[in-house]
Chains A and B, each alone.
Chain A
Amino acid sequence: MSRQANRGTESKKMSSELFTLTYGALVTQLCKDYENDEDVNKQLDKILFSHFLPRGYNIGVRLIEDFLARSNVGRCHDFRETADVIAKVAFKMYLGITPSVTNWSPAGDEFSLILENNPLVDFVELPDNHSSLIYSNLLCGVLRGALEMVQMAVEAKFVQDTLKGDGVTEIRMRFIRRIEDNLPAGEE
């Protein structure tokens, strides 16, 4: 199996591209599907917007288990710690990038993740007729789903996107509230 060893690096690259390409195929498919139903593009993007969030949410709900099992990260004591874990551990583990955490609100309940390069959009060009499509919206769903499983209700949304000509990609995270009900008695 010496051949395999030679191609080790290429294999790694390909498996990361696999995710990116697969996600691209999914977006393309959904764009196609809905074009048949609704010819109005505004409507189309609205549907896509509302479509990727729940998908991402479902992924996040499952991803958090995988993450906690593999990362040895304990419970975060405040939102700043959460931000650090998301940027430095989670993004690194799953996408191989480390976004920077900036723009804290004075109350400490809002921050931004700045992605220098978003691996999801590696091979993507947004056509004019989809200019309002939030391509990577899945990520917001993933973040929301994962955090909800650790008792944090948050809102995540894209406020800047390189696909739309912005210099960087920025995800704005807002802490809404702690989810208390789900805590088993005796914890905390």
Chain B
Amino acid sequence: MADAALFEFLHTEMVAELGAHHSDPGPGGQKMSLSVLEGMGFRVGQALGERLPQETLAFREELDILKFLCRDLWVAVFQKQMDSLRTNHQGTYVLQDNSFPLLIRMASGLQYLEEAPKFLAFTCGLLRGTLCILGIKSLVTASVASLPTCKFQVVIQKT
């Protein structure tokens, strides 16, 4: 089994690779590279979702699925559970991780705050991809106020 450190290093290289890639100073250059990272996360999330234990596919309630993401998916990917899950019961969920593993080695506090979004895009896609395979269309964004705490906001798209 591949070690978690390997994923972390690869993720760092991906951020560096795609950051450099679309770094043309034109409008939306930064946005562009984030959406590429997000897209890659989405594909990985989908593939992971397909490999989930069958029982999870029988989830009925939206909330159950979100709980599943916080517990099982997070443990599978980051070897820890999400710290909190909040919702307004109208399709918006806020998932908070107080020590997000991909940020934890960077800083504790405000240093490198501008760099943080690059390290969250992949994971946003990962959540969106897994939700998608479970039948939920969503928008996932992330925000950091102070490293290494970060919040993922999931907005369910009603059709």
Contacts and interface: CB of A to CB of B under 8 A. Distances in A.
A153 B9 CA distance: 22
A186 B77 CA distance: 44
Contacts of A26: 10, 14, 17, 40
Nearest to A122: B2
Interface stretch (B46-54, B84-92, B109-117, B142-150): B46-54
Given A19-B7, A33-B21, A59-B9, A94 B2 contact: yes
A62 B1 contact: no
Interface stretch (A10-18, A99-107, A170-178): A10-18
Contacts, number: 104
A96 interface: yes
B137 interface: no
A15 B72 contact: no
Interface residues of B, number: 36
A94 B40 contact: no
Interface size class of A (residues with CB under 8 A): 35 or more
A14 B2 contact: no
B71 A3 contact: yes
A30 B4 CA distance: 23
Contacts of A21: 43-44, 47-48
A12 to B, nearest CB: 6
A22 B75 contact: no
A94 B2 CA distance: 5
Contacts of A16: 1-2
Contacts of B14: 22, 26
Nearest to A141: B13
22 contacts: A1-B71, A4-B81, A7-B53, A7-B72, A10-B53, A11-B72, A14-B76, A15-B4, A15-B7, A15-B76, A18-B2, A21-B47, A22-B14, A25-B41, A26-B14, A26-B17, A26-B40, A55-B17, A59-B9, A59-B10, A94-B3, A119-B1
Interface of A: 1, 3-4, 7, 10-23, 25-26, 28-30, 33, 55, 58-59, 62-63, 66, 93-96, 119, 123, 138
